[in-house]
Structure 1
Amino acid sequence: MSHTIKCTQLHKEFKGDGVNTTALNKVNLEFSKGEFVSIVGSSGSGKSTFLSLIGTLDNPSGGAVHYGEADLRKLNLKELADFRFEHIGFVFQQYHLLPTLTALENVMAPLLSRKVSYDKRKRAEQLLEEVGLATKLHSLPSQLSGGQQQRVAVARALIHEPHWLLADEPTGNLDTETGEMIFDLLHKLNKEKGCGVIFVTHEPELAVRAGRMIEMKDGHVIRDTEGGQ
């Protein structure tokens, strides 16, 4: 399967109290395997909505997302779950770590109900070492800094070796220095593992360092340029 993501006339409206709000307005974009892309724009511009649609966390009101030749609209719930597991890793502004699990257990959590061909624990240990947390395997989230928790979240997103990592404001809760570390980590993983990254951010100084920068406003793409990676 090709790992190109193609969005055609992708549209999303939210309905409530008799008012329809257009969050995404007929967007056409394509992402090639291994790209490192930043998406910028003010709050309400449609960045997070767009990410949730291409990651199949939400359904579009119109248009389509194709992953290679597959039309994601035609997948049932189980097929969508399998698609996400096989191809997509998510990192969010909130770390979403389970507070009663150690760092190692949190990284392994997506695999608990899955049969895989590799040693789950060894892969989780290896990933935590790669993100600089080899000495924190048995620490609970409450014993970790914000930056360390986000690194655990990145390792968890990579546990099944996805083809794409979708990161929604992953540095939003972090100070500037720690945010730089997380950005550099994503950049390193992109280069070394060939994992495509789509990175939503409010921080232009990070966005311009991606290989490609997309700017959104009022649900439209208003600029799509090469970055300074």
Structure 2
Amino acid sequence: MSQSIVMKQVTKTFKGEGVETHALSDVSVEFKSGEFVSVVGSSGSGKSTLLSLIGTLDRSTSGEILYDSVSINKMNQKQLADFRFENIGFIFQQFHLIPTMTAIENVMAPLFSRKVPYDKKKRAQELLDKVGLGDKFNSLPSQLSGGQQQRVAIARALVHEPKWLLADEPTGNLDTATGELIFSTLSSLNQEKGCGVIFVTHDPSLAAKAARMIEMKDGVIVADREGSTI
């Protein structure tokens, strides 16, 4: 199901008011099919930029990004949108749930404008069950805790069966115990569904629980090593 991601000499530079900021500098790295990788670093280290480029939310200044040898660099916006739907699920620090929609409607939201060969509501129900929210189908976000809202967001990210889950500080707004629960949920989904996970965090202790841990500083990768067994 999954696929490899290869970044070749990727640089991202932001320009503003005569100042250039090198968010990523000549980064080359491979993420292997189905693996769980944490990316750790302080604020400004480049980890979120790395994720946004992999997720096609932004374009690199130079270099190339390949999904199973297919380059995303020359895709237009329509092609990128279709590519994201077919391949990538996003989870963010801010849950980005629609406040007027129930949990099940939020999970179904990515499918509303798409024709799919399965029952959308049934898929959403199954995923809410999977993340332990089978009794919260009709709850609004305001009726859920932060951890429950993030689990709804995880179910939403999975609803179109992506090959990769990209999680940008998904535990940043949660207490330690809830953050560890979210990490454990993603780990279990990685093992059960075979989708790759790239988990960005500023928490070294949480990052070390992944099978592989990448450390970033000043826009470059300074360490790439095995973590503990998930």
TM > 0.5 between the two? Answer: yes
Shift of 1:167: 0.2
1:70-103 deviations in Å (ceiling 9; x for gaps): 1101211111111100000000000000000000
1:6-52 deviations in Å (ceiling 9; x for gaps): 00011100100100000000100001111000000110000000000
Residue ranges of structure 1 left out of the alignment (5+ in a row): none
Counterpart check, 1:127 vs 2:123: no
Instruction: Name the CA distance, whole Å, in 1 between partners of 2:2 and 2:42.
Output: 32
Kindly report which structure 2 residues correspond to 1:17-32, keeping only aligned pairs within 5 A, or say none: 17-32=17-32
Confirm or deny: 8 A CA contact 1:2 1:68 kept in the other structure: no
Confirm or deny: 8 A CA contact 2:2 2:195 kept in the other structure: no
1:54 maps to which residue? 54
Instruction: Single out whichever of 51-60 and 201-210 deviates more from structure 2.
Output: 201-210
2:102 maps to which residue? 102
TM-score by length of 1: 0.99
Counterpart check, 1:65 vs 2:65: yes
Confirm or deny: 8 A CA contact 1:40 1:204 kept in the other structure: yes
Shift of 1:202: 1.1
Confirm or deny: 8 A CA contact 2:41 2:215 kept in the other structure: yes
Shift of 1:228: 0.6
Instruction: Name the CA distance, whole Å, in 2 between partners of 1:19 and 1:77.
Output: 28
Number of positions where the alignment pairs a residue of Structure 1 with one of Structure 2: 229
Confirm or deny: 8 A CA contact 1:6 1:66 kept in the other structure: yes
Name the SS for the 2:73 alignment partner. Answer: helix
Confirm or deny: 8 A CA contact 2:9 2:27 kept in the other structure: yes
Instruction: Name the CA distance, whole Å, in 2 between partners of 1:47 and 1:23.
Output: 9
Confirm or deny: 8 A CA contact 1:104 1:125 kept in the other structure: yes
1:188 maps to which residue? 188
1:207 maps to which residue? 207
Instruction: Name the CA distance, whole Å, in 2 between partners of 1:74 and 1:58.
Output: 12
**Which of structure 1's runs of 4+ aligned residues deviate more than 3 A?**
none
Instruction: Name the CA distance, whole Å, in 2 between partners of 1:217 and 1:202.
Output: 11
2:141 maps to which residue? 141
1:160 maps to which residue? 160
1:177 maps to which residue? 177
Residue ranges of structure 2 left out of the alignment (5+ in a row): none
Counterpart check, 1:75 vs 2:70: no
Confirm or deny: 8 A CA contact 2:41 2:202 kept in the other structure: yes
Instruction: Name the CA distance, whole Å, in 2 between partners of 1:73 and 1:182.
Output: 32
**Closer, same or farther: CA 220–111 of 1 in aligned 2, 3 Å:** same
Shift of 1:2: 7.2
1:148-172 deviations in Å (ceiling 9; x for gaps): 0000000000001101000000000
Name the SS for the 2:135 alignment partner. Answer: coil
Instruction: Single out whichever of 173-182 and 74-83 deviates more from structure 2.
Output: 74-83
Name the SS for the 1:106 alignment partner. Answer: helix
Name the SS for the 1:98 alignment partner. Answer: coil
1:150 maps to which residue? 150
